Amino acid sequence: MAHNLKYAVALKNARLDAITAAIGASGFVDIYDGSQPASPDTAVTSQVKLAHLALSATFAPAASGGVLTANAISDDTDADATGTAAWCRFTTSGGTAVIDGTVGTSSCDLNLNSVSINIHQTVEVTACTITSAN
């Protein structure tokens, strides 16, 4: 028989809240071009870091309905490089990778005002939500 796990909303919320706990106080989100690695445990190689943004002291309030909505994320007022944003990596304040996600202008884990980034420009997050599967 095929796998068909379905999670109670309370468990989905707990799993999502574990992301906030793992990021800890004052983490970061880095935005990259190129292909997203297989997991946050995979090192960044040829991808170029375009921007480095500070997360709020607490990444997100408690998840609700299987959705984790981040607190405000500070703009990066001096982008690191020029390129097209393709994916992001959330890290602890010490730089330990916790979770990778999609980047776009809508319907992504991390939504930006534009995915076209030029060095030294401001990079602005318009929304960040992570939804639990199943």
SS3 13: helix
* 87 token code pair: 């994916």
- Digit-coded pLDDT (tens) for 16-48: 999 999 999 999 999 999 999 999 999 999 999
pLDDT value of position 44: 96
Q: Is the pLDDT of residue 3 over 90?
A: no
Question: What residue ranges do the domains of the chain occupy?
Answer: 9-131
Beta bridge partners of residue 17, listed in sequence order: none
- Digit-coded pLDDT (tens) for 99-132: 999 999 999 999 999 999 999 999 999 999 999 9
- pTM exceeds 0.85: yes
Q: What is the amino acid identity at position 97?
A: A
Q: List the helix and strand counts (H, then E) for the chain.
A: 1, 9
- Digit-coded pLDDT (tens) for 45-96: 999 999 999 999 999 999 999 999 999 999 999 999 999 999 999 999 999 9
SS3 10: helix
With beta carbons less than 8 A apart as the criterion, state whether 55 and 70 touch: yes
